[in-house]
Amino acid sequence: QSALTQPPSASGSPGQSVTISCTGTSSDVGGYNYVSWYQQHPGKAPRLMIYDVTQRPSGVPDRFSGSKSGNTASLTVSGLQAEDEADYYCSSYAGSNNLVFGGGTKVTVL
């Protein structure tokens, strides 16, 4: 149950796009289409932004999109806004009813 690998930080100017990667193995990210992404503002509980690699829950802006290629999943935030500045975490099903999270990426809006 090793954590998924995310870059510690990412940044972009308002209106630009930023993409965060989440690298695992064939036993987790590469083996299942059950990758989720969470946004967390300081002092708040995480919020589900993407599930099942590409699906958005109701209420999540379509500026947020997810994808996957091989053992790496990605979250893209288009048209960056000030309120998108937060920590982002990926998670993946890892088989046998186990789940693994990434280490988190701090997104800064310049």
How far, in Å, CA of 35 to CA of 31, rounded? 10
# residues contacting another protein (CB under 8 A): 26
Question: Could you identify the residue written with the tokens 């690998």?
Answer: 5
Is residue 51 a contact point for another protein (CB under 8 A)? Answer: yes
Binding mask 71-100 for another protein (x = CB under 8 A): ------------------x-xxx--xxxxx
What is the C-alpha to C-alpha distance for residues 55 and 38, in angstroms, rounded to an integer? 12
Show the site string, 15-34: x = touches another protein by CB under 8 A, - = not.
-------------------x
Q: Which residue, among 41, 18, 35, has the nearest Cα to 99 in the 3D structure? A: 35
Nearest alpha-carbon partner for 85 in 53, 52, 44, 26: 44
Residues near another protein (CB under 8 A) are: 1, 3, 34-36, 38, 40, 45-46, 48, 51-52, 57, 89, 91-93, 96-104
